[in-house]
Amino acid sequence: MAPASLSSTASDTSIPAAEDLFSDESDFHGSLETRTTYNKLAASYNPQKYWAVHEWNTQVAAARGRKARHEAAARQRAKLALRKQREAEPAPDDGPAPQQQTERQIRADLQGDGDRVMKVDAKVSTSAGHEEPDTGVADIEQDESRKPQNFYEGLPSAKQLSESVPDFLARLPPSTTTPVAAGGQPWIWIANPYPPPGKRSLGQAGNASSDPESGDGDRATFRQLGTRLLEGYLSRKREAESQNPGKAAGAITRMLRPDRLQLETDIRELATSQRVTAGKWMLFPREEEVDSVWAVVARAVWEGKLGTTAKVATAKAEEGMMVVDDHDGGSGTRDRGLRLICIYTRDFSDQADVKRVLQALKDLGLLNLAGPGGAGTNPALKTIYYKCDAYTHLDLSSGNEYKLRASMYSSRDLFPEWYPGGASAGTGSSRGYGYQ
């Protein structure tokens, strides 16, 4: 057993105060010249200057994000306090005294927040008849009742909860962020902080895949059974070819149309049964536009205006060569100057939600051929496509040997009234902005 004096000392110093760490005798070791040199370096060191040139550092982004979150929380509390004060305001003939007292109470309630204290707006003392519209309070109350979460928390290539959207966009601009700069990931991610119930975080799911959007779905079983469905179709195709040796390939394809329709149905039913139901709308902005388009998408996802998640492809090492992903893009080719952005929904069979996200993309100007905020009150729209992750997991892209359509929906399919001539007027252009 340790002596009482040692035991007492250990317990007293287990959590030392800051002044206990260093004393007046603390100094650098070495010769007088060495100590003098290091003392000068220590005196001239400015940590603020160091961090100012290390904005890319995740710790810096997190610190700024925490500060922004604290400030936002203080603003929310102030808005809620003002709302309560306005609801309790007396009639105009009752005099201003109770109102002024309420204002003092509001200020007192906010005083416990240290550096997060906010000044109450001067509008507090205005009369009820001239008050500003109290916008966003219901959303604040709803948000405060739910704890924000992030499916990609801890992933270097994703936005963190403690990070503001501007800091996230500055840290990982898709135009210049390579997979190496993104922590080895080919995608930059952002998730809705208030996802549908049942969505688990990346750490909770125990799955560090770069494509975690399938959530709790059994992707392994889906791939295994889905591959069998595809092999069964190819077997029927070979049988049809052997029974009709003189027929052209196009004729064989037409003969197998009922089999293809059944194959599509079987794949979708299998995906639903295995909970592999995520899907995404795809945008293909040009290289010079990818940062601005991604900024619009990222802010809208974070604010809950779009789907569950969005991702943008990182820049490739070879300058000027951007890859439209063979799996997600559905093109199977390399396209110069184009970058893929995916906006996810939770369930491809929930067509109402799929259409809601598409409508939001249109409202944000992301379907305008002239780009977001393009000129004109009724700008021309490009056609974009929606692909289910089930097809991605089975490596089904355009031009596949099964002759399956790589996309599940198009914007022209769901909203033909947006386009001159409707759904039958052609496919339009899903690539880039500013040209057809």
Residue 417 CB coordination number (10 Å): 6
Same domain, 359 and 404: yes
In a domain, 309, yes or no: yes
- pLDDT value at position 397? 86
Same domain, 205 and 307: yes
pLDDT tens digit string along 386-412?
A: 999 999 899 988 888 899 988 999 999
**Rounded (10°) CA dihedral 136, 141, 142, 145:** 160
Decide which of 251, 273, 295 is a domain's last residue: 273
Q: What is the pLDDT averaged over residues 238-246?
A: 89
Same domain, 279 and 268: no
Domain tally, the chain: 3
Q: Dihedrals φ, ψ of 236, to 5°? A: -65, -35
Supply the range of the domain harboring residue 352: 165-216+275-425
In a domain, 286, yes or no: yes
Contact predicate 382/370, CB 8 Å: no
Tokens of 112: 């416990």
pLDDT tens digit string along 174-200?
A: 999 999 888 888 999 999 988 766 444
- pLDDT value at position 1? 46
Lowest-confidence segment of 83-92, 185-194, 200-209, 410-419 by average pLDDT: 200-209
Whether the per-residue pLDDT at 349 is higher than 50: the answer is yes
In a domain, 41, yes or no: no
**Higher-confidence position of 169 and 337:** 169
- Exposed, middle or buried: residue 354 (CB in 10 Å: 0-12, 13-18, 19+)? buried
CA 349 distance to own-chain centroid: 22
Q: Which long-range contacts (CB under 8 A, 24 or more apart) does 393-396 make?
A: 393/214, 393/219, 393/222, 393/223, 393/226, 393/276, 394/223, 394/226, 394/227, 394/230, 394/267, 395/327
Same domain, 243 and 342: no
Measured in residues, the chain has a length of 436
**Higher-confidence position of 28 and 311:** 311
Report DSSP state, residue 334: E
Q: Which residues pair with 187 in a beta bridge?
A: 313
Whether the per-residue pLDDT at 216 is higher than 80: the answer is no
* Look-up of token digits 């135009």: 175
Whether the per-residue pLDDT at 280 is higher than 90: the answer is yes
Q: Which residues pair with 388 in a beta bridge?
A: 279
* Alpha-carbon distances, residue 124 vs 106, 113, 119, 156 (angstroms): 10, 20, 11, 43
Same domain, 372 and 416: yes
Q: What is the pLDDT averaged over residues 140-162?
A: 75
Q: What is the DSSP code string of 237-306?
A: HHHHHHH-TTS-HHHHHHHTHHHHHHHHHHHHHHHHHTT---EEEEEB-BGGGHHHHHHHHHHHHHTTSS
Same domain, 185 and 226: no
Q: What is the pLDDT averaged over residues 143-162?
A: 80
In a domain, 337, yes or no: yes
Please give the Cα distance from 81 to 429 (Å, whole number). 50
- pLDDT value at position 41? 82
Tokens of 11: 């317990």
Tokens of 417: 């009234």
Sequence-distant (≥ 6) Cβ neighbours of residue 366 within 8 angstroms:
283, 293, 296, 297, 372
Q: Dihedrals φ, ψ of 306, to 5°? A: -115, -135
Same domain, 130 and 224: no
Q: What is the pLDDT averaged over residues 301-317?
A: 89
In a domain, 410, yes or no: yes
Q: Which segments of 45-180 does DSSP mark as H helices, in order?
A: 47-52, 58-87, 97-110, 137-144, 165-171
Report DSSP state, residue 212: G
Q: Cα angle at 79 between 74 and 80, to 5 degrees?
A: 100
Q: Work out whether the CA dihedral 32, 34, 39, 41 comes out positive or negative.
A: positive
Place 259 in a pLDDT band, splitting at 50, 70 and 90: very high
Contact predicate 338/286, CB 8 Å: yes
- pLDDT value at position 142? 46
Q: Does the pTM exceed 0.75?
A: no
